[in-house]
Amino acid sequence: MITIPRKTEQWIKALIAAIVSGFSNSILAALGIGAANAIGVKIDPLHWSQTLDIGLTGAFIGMLMYLKQSPVPPDTGNSDPAAFVKPPTPTNQ
């Protein structure tokens, strides 16, 4: 069995969370178009495939934004989840 280091496992979980968050936020925005039509704002309705495309694009953007913030699992030796969002502090040698 393959053992994944804890920091890498947390990084992967955070990456998946960013993808799910991007997808769900995009789907909610696409569904908002339907709500806008219900209150009288004239916007062409989306086909389900267009809504799915918007969701997948949002998931991809969420992944890219997370990878920009945390490109690889940091080698801090620290199991604190907050260490994944803070850049490592430089040490004077």
pLDDT band of 3, cuts 50, 70, 90: confident
Q: What is the pLDDT of residues 8-44, one digit of tens each?
A: 888 899 999 999 999 999 999 888 887 888 888 888 8
The pLDDT of residue 34 is 78
Alpha carbons 21 and 26: distance in angstroms, whole number: 8
| pLDDT, averaged across the chain | 82
Predicted structure pTM score = 0.68
Sketch the domain layout of the chain as residue ranges: 20-71
First and final CA of the chain: distance in angstroms?
A: 39
Per-residue pLDDT tens for 42-61?
Answer: 888 788 899 899 999 999 99
Report the alpha-carbon angle 11-51-70, nearest 5: 15
